[in-house]
Structure 1
Amino acid sequence: MVKNPTAYPTPKSSLTASERADLLGPKRLRRSKSLDHHTIIGSINGSFSRQYDPIHLNGHSDADQAQPASPKLCDPRLRRLKISFWTDVPITDDYAKQVISLYMVTDHPLLGIFDPSLFISDLVDQKHTHCSPLLVNALLYWACQMYTAIEKEANKLAELFCKEAERLWLTQKDNDSLLNAASSQLLSLAYLGHGKDHYVLKYLSTALRMGTRLCLFGVEAPQAITNLKRLSPETQRASSFTAWGVFNWGVLMALFYQQPGLEYPGHPPVLPIPGDLISDSSSPGSSSLGVDPSSALPPYMGSTFSTLCQFWRILHGVTLSYYKDKQTSLPEHASIDFAEFKYRELLAWIEGLPSDQALKDHSPHHVVVLHIWFHAAILDLFRPFLQNTARDRQRLKTFSARRSYPEAAFNASVNQLKQLIVRYRCNYESSAYTMLWQTALIYVANAVLRNTQDPEWRLYFLACIYGYEGLRTSYRVAEVISRGLLTMSLREGDMSGTEARHLLKEVTGPEGAGGKGDVRATFMADLDLAMTDPEAAKVENLAKKFEDVALFSDFTTMDDEEARSFQRIETPDDV
Structure 2
Amino acid sequence: LKLMPQDVKGYQALPPHTTKGPGLTATTATGTTNITVGATHSMRRKRRGTYASKACTFCREKKTACDGKPVCFQCLRRSLKCEYRTVSQTILNAIPAGSQIMDKAEAVENADAAVLLGILKHLPEEKALKALHLLKQGYRPADIGSAFRGHSLGLPQLPFYRAGLPPTHSSLEFELMMRHPVAYPAWAPVQSSNLEMEQLLLPSKIVGDGSRPPLTVGTNDDYSYPSLLSEQRGKQSSGFTQLIVPPRPSKLYGNRLLGVEITHWTNIPISNDFAIAVLQNYFETDHPLIPLFDVDLFLDGLLCMTQFCSRLLVSAIFAWACQGYATYEPESTMIGHAFYEEAKKLWQQEKTAGADHICTVAAVHYLAITAISLGAGAEYVEYLHEALEMAKRLGLFNVSPSEGPDLKSYGEPDAQRATAQTAWALFNCLTIYYHLIVLDLFRPLIRQNDVSTLRLRSFTSKQATPEAVYKASTNQLKRIVLFYRQAFPESSSCLFWHSALLYLANAILREAKTSGQSPEWRFYFRLCIASYQTLYCSFRLAKGITISLLSMGLERGFVGVRYAKAVRRDLELRGKHHDVSDRVPHSLVVDLDLAVTDPSAAQAERLVQRFQELKLHETENDEELPAGS
The interval holding the TM-score normalised by the smaller chain is 0.5 to 0.7
Query: Structure 1 residues 254 and 455, CA, compared in 2 at 3 Å: closer, same or farther?
Result: closer
Structure 2 match to 1:77:
256
Residues 142 and 189 in structure 1, CA contact (< 8 A), matched pair in contact too: yes
TM-score (norm 1): 0.59
Give the aligned residue type for 1:546: V
Q: In structure 1, what is the Cα distance between the partners aligned to 2:240 and 2:443?
A: 43
Q: In structure 1, what is the Cα distance between the partners aligned to 2:533 and 2:412?
A: 47
Does residue 104 of structure 1 match 2:104? no
Question: What is the correspondence of 1:152-301 to structure 2 with a 5 Å cutoff?
Answer: 152-174=330-352, 175-178=354-357, 179-218=359-398, 229=409, 231-246=411-426, 248-250=428-430, 252-253=432-433, 255-256=435-436, 258=437
SS for the counterpart of 1:451 is: helix
Q: In structure 1, what is the Cα distance between the partners aligned to 2:560 and 2:612?
A: 7
Residues 142 and 158 in structure 1, CA contact (< 8 A), matched pair in contact too: yes
Residues 496 and 554 in structure 1, CA contact (< 8 A), matched pair in contact too: no
Structure 1 match to 2:13:
none
Does residue 34 of structure 1 match 2:221? no
Which of the residues 124, 146, 149 maps onto 2:303? 124
Deviations 1:514-571 (A, max 9, x none): 65685337565345456x4483685xx14423333664x549999xxxxxxxxxxxxx
Query: Structure 1 residues 101 and 398, CA, compared in 2 at 3 Å: closer, same or farther?
Result: farther
Q: In structure 1, what is the Cα distance between the partners aligned to 2:405 and 2:464?
A: 42
Does residue 548 of structure 1 match 2:610? yes
Rg bigger for which structure?
2
Structure 2 match to 1:481:
545
Q: In structure 2, what is the Cα distance between the partners aligned to 1:251 and 1:408?
A: 19
Which of the residues 435, 440, 445 maps onto 2:505? 445
Residues 396 and 406 in structure 1, CA contact (< 8 A), matched pair in contact too: no
Residues 246 and 328 in structure 2, CA contact (< 8 A), matched pair in contact too: no
Structure 2 match to 1:307:
none
Question: Displacement, 1:485?
Answer: 1.3
SS for the counterpart of 1:28 is: strand
Give the aligned residue type for 2:607: K
Question: Displacement, 1:131?
Answer: 0.3
Q: In structure 2, what is the Cα distance between the partners aligned to 1:555 and 1:97?
A: 46
Give the aligned residue type for 1:154: S
SS for the counterpart of 1:108 is: coil
Query: Structure 1 residues 138 and 386, CA, compared in 2 at 3 Å: closer, same or farther?
Result: same
Question: Displacement, 1:141?
Answer: 1.0
Structure 2 match to 1:351:
none
Query: Structure 1 residues 182 and 216, CA, compared in 2 at 3 Å: closer, same or farther?
Result: same
Question: Displacement, 1:153?
Answer: 2.8
Q: In structure 2, what is the Cα distance between the partners aligned to 1:496 and 1:458?
A: 11
Query: Structure 1 residues 430 and 537, CA, compared in 2 at 3 Å: closer, same or farther?
Result: farther
Residues 81 and 97 in structure 1, CA contact (< 8 A), matched pair in contact too: yes
Question: What is the correspondence of 1:357-372 to structure 2 with a 5 Å cutoff?
Answer: none
Query: Structure 1 residues 525 and 252, CA, compared in 2 at 3 Å: closer, same or farther?
Result: same
Q: In structure 1, what is the Cα distance between the partners aligned to 2:543 and 2:380?
A: 18
Give the aligned residue type for 2:204: K
Q: In structure 2, what is the Cα distance between the partners aligned to 1:204 and 1:413?
A: 22
Residues 385 and 406 in structure 1, CA contact (< 8 A), matched pair in contact too: no
Query: Structure 1 residues 515 and 195, CA, compared in 2 at 3 Å: closer, same or farther?
Result: farther
Residues 99 and 144 in structure 1, CA contact (< 8 A), matched pair in contact too: yes
Q: In structure 2, what is the Cα distance between the partners aligned to 1:35 and 1:159?
A: 23
Higher relative contact order (CA closer than 8 Å, sequence separation 6+): 1
Give the aligned residue type for 1:166: K
Question: Displacement, 1:172?
Answer: 2.2
Query: Structure 1 residues 499 and 230, CA, compared in 2 at 3 Å: closer, same or farther?
Result: closer
Give the aligned residue type for 1:169: W
Give the aligned residue type for 2:309: C
Does residue 431 of structure 1 match 2:491? yes
Query: Structure 1 residues 407 and 470, CA, compared in 2 at 3 Å: closer, same or farther?
Result: same
Q: In structure 2, what is the Cα distance between the partners aligned to 1:390 and 1:198?
A: 35
Gaps of 5+ in 2: 1-90, 98-185, 220-237, 620-629
Deviations 1:247-296 (A, max 9, x none): 5545644543x5xxxxxxxxxxxxxxxxxxxxxxxxxxxxxxxxxxxxxx
TM-score (norm 2): 0.55
Question: What is the correspondence of 1:290-439 to structure 2 with a 5 Å cutoff?
Answer: 425=485, 428-439=488-499
SS for the counterpart of 2:207 is: strand
Query: Structure 1 residues 422 and 57, CA, compared in 2 at 3 Å: closer, same or farther?
Result: farther
Residues 207 and 246 in structure 2, CA contact (< 8 A), matched pair in contact too: no
Residues 40 and 91 in structure 1, CA contact (< 8 A), matched pair in contact too: yes
Question: Displacement, 1:441?
Answer: 3.1
Q: In structure 2, what is the Cα distance between the partners aligned to 1:154 and 1:502?
A: 28
Residues 500 and 550 in structure 1, CA contact (< 8 A), matched pair in contact too: no
SS for the counterpart of 1:545 is: helix
Structure 1 match to 2:46:
none
Structure 1 match to 2:95:
4
Residues 215 and 227 in structure 1, CA contact (< 8 A), matched pair in contact too: no
Q: In structure 2, what is the Cα distance between the partners aligned to 1:57 and 1:98?
A: 28
Give the aligned residue type for 2:366: L
Q: In structure 1, what is the Cα distance between the partners aligned to 2:480 and 2:384?
A: 28
Does residue 454 of structure 1 match 2:545? no
